[in-house]
Amino acid sequence: MSLFFFFLVPGLPVVGNLLQMKEKKPYKTFTNWAETYGPIYSIRTGASTVVVLNTADVALEIYICITHKRHRNHRYTLRDNVSSQLHAHVKKSPNEAVNFKKVFEPELFGLSLKQALGKNVEGSIYVEKLGTTLSRNEINEILVADVPKGATETDWRDFFPYLRWIPSKNLEMKIQNICFRRKAVMSVLIKESIKRIASGEEVNCFLVCLFCGETLTTEQMTVSVWEWILEAADTTVVTMEWAIYELAKDPKRQPTHIDIDRVFKMYNYRNVCTKKSKMLVDATRLGRNTSQLPYLNAVFHETLRKHSPVPVALTKYVDEDTQLGEEWKPERLLEKEKWDPMESQKTMAFGAGKRACAGSLQAMLIVCTTIGRLVQEFEWRLGEGDEKEDTAIFTNHKLHALHAVIKPRN
């Protein structure tokens, strides 16, 4: 808010700067003021204050959401850790397929914890309500993995609606147990974060934002933070695994790395394979140059089209001939002469309108930049017997974890 008032153009009492804007083309007046007061300044139009932006860069900073910058280092760490683990695997077992999900999922879960609570879980935590000590993998199981399992449990009463009055105790107890375990773990994690905040430690996370807003009950706060963790850790893993699977299944589509190299040279970015490649994975710069990486974006959106990470609806009746794109084909989004980002939104993978997914930008940044780095660093091909596209019941989670054979590029 300080910018709005430090550069306030001098005016008259009450009317402010209204009498100074006699020019029929106000932008000329604004341009003249910019030479004196800089690219961003405020003017008074009666009782209102108006902020004037005079350069494209300033307008971009204002109109494009850049709150993701505060967590940029966490995303750097995620990519560095995944890359390091894959290189270590190749060095130790060059001919053995790597379980991609086993490498990527813990790192993404750590990222979601840092963003939601300000800190990753190091080692283990004791949960009094459960009477046990949990490792980070067990916490991930309770907060993330148990949810789709509970959602896909079969209730026999769905097949006999007239018998719904009969209780299904086994199912109800399973769901209640999942909820109880989740609340118990979240309660401990939130209490630990509150202690750090109370001690004066600088904590930059979603939980702090909740404290700054309206007063929430403990239940509301617990659910809000848990949803943040779930959204960041679950669907992104699914999308990432399917994207790597499709690229590994058809290595001819991996020249994506050539496209990326070309753009980095064009913008003088450092090579993504180096640890100092902050310019490459800078989310803002990647967002600005999306048009320069159309194939990488097409890979992301085509994966969402064919392998939506959210539960798939039950079969519906089709009353007319419908053409379905069964093949995973990123090129379908590039058939026009000019890349149109709106073409990729037709699948509504993130919803639309006021209820659109708030994490869509982060998902795109994580998946696109991680794919870009991994494809630049490694050649990917499927492990033996991993050609099937089996999914888990009514979700698009891969039924069997992706095993890929990787080879470092020169």
163-208 residue pLDDT tens: 888 888 888 899 899 999 999 999 999 999 999 888 888 788 888 8
- The count of other CB atoms within 10 Å of the CB of residue 343 is 15
- What the block records as the tokens of 403 is 């095993």
**Please, what's the largest Cα pairwise distance for the chain?**
78
Q: What CATH number matches the domain at 67-111+233-315+324-408, 3.30.70.270, 3.20.20.70, 1.10.630.10, 3.30.2080.10?
A: 1.10.630.10
Q: What is the pLDDT of residue 264?
A: 56
Identify the sign of the CA torsion 191, 197, 200, 201: positive
Estimate to the nearest angstrom the gap between the alpha carbon of 26 and the chain centroid: 41
- Work out the average pLDDT over 340-365: 72
Angstrom distances, CA of residue 227 to CA of 52, 109, 182, 186: 37, 13, 11, 11
Helices (DSSP H) in 313-408: which residue ranges?
360-377
Confidence band (pLDDT; 50, 70, 90) for 345? low
pLDDT digits (tens, 9 = 90+) for 235-292: 888 899 999 999 998 888 876 555 666 655 554 444 433 333 333 444 445 444 555 6
The Cα 203–Cα 209 span in angstroms is 10
Q: What is the pLDDT of residue 60?
A: 67
User: Which of the pair, 29 or 5, is modelled with greater confidence?
Assistant: 29
- Work out the average pLDDT over 10-17: 86
Helices (DSSP H) in 133-199: which residue ranges?
136-140, 146-151, 169-198
Q: How many helices (H) and strands (E) does the chain have?
A: 16, 7
Helix/strand/coil percent split, the chain, to 5: 55, 10, 35
Confidence band (pLDDT; 50, 70, 90) for 213? low
User: Which of the pair, 148 or 91, is modelled with greater confidence?
Assistant: 91
Q: What is the pLDDT of residue 133?
A: 94
Share of the chain above pLDDT 70, in %: 78
The Cα 410–Cα 400 span in angstroms is 31
- Work out the average pLDDT over 364-373: 84
Numbered ranges of CATH 1.10.630.10 in the chain: 67-111+233-315+324-408
* Phi, psi for 125 (deg, rounded to 5): -135, 150
With a CB cutoff of 8 Å and minimum separation 6, the contacts of 219 are none
Estimate to the nearest angstrom the gap between the alpha carbon of 18 and the chain centroid: 44
Estimate to the nearest angstrom the gap between the alpha carbon of 25 and the chain centroid: 43
- Work out the average pLDDT over 97-115: 91
Total count of residues recorded for the chain? 410
Q: What is the pLDDT of residue 103?
A: 93
Angstrom distances, CA of residue 212 to CA of 27, 207, 216, 327: 38, 9, 10, 47
User: Which of the pair, 238 or 73, is modelled with greater confidence?
Assistant: 238
Helix axes 294-306, 235-249, angle to 10 degrees: 110
Confidence band (pLDDT; 50, 70, 90) for 88? very high
- Work out the average pLDDT over 304-310: 82
Q: Tell whether the model's pLDDT for residue 92 goes beyond 90.
A: yes
Q: What is the pLDDT of residue 258?
A: 59
With a CB cutoff of 8 Å and minimum separation 6, the contacts of 80 are 275
Q: Tell whether the model's pLDDT for residue 2 goes beyond 50.
A: no
Contact 325, 306 (CB under 8 A): yes
Helix axes 100-117, 360-377, angle to 10 degrees: 140
Helix axes 72-92, 360-377, angle to 10 degrees: 30
The Cα 386–Cα 282 span in angstroms is 33
* Phi, psi for 340 (deg, rounded to 5): -115, 105
Q: Tell whether the model's pLDDT for residue 317 goes beyond 50.
A: yes
Confidence band (pLDDT; 50, 70, 90) for 341? low
Confidence band (pLDDT; 50, 70, 90) for 314? low
- Work out the average pLDDT over 81-85: 91
Choose among 238, 234, 236: nearest CA to 401. 238
Q: Tell whether the model's pLDDT for residue 115 goes beyond 60.
A: yes
> What is the pTM (predicted TM-score) of this model?
0.72
Q: What is the pLDDT of residue 19?
A: 84
Three-class SS of residue 124? strand
Average pLDDT, whole number, for the chain? Answer: 79
Core vs surface per residue 150-189: b (16+ CB within 10 A) or e: eeeeeeeeeeeeeeeeeebeeeeeebeebeebbbbbbebb
Q: Which helix (H) or strand (E) holds 134?
A: strand 132-135
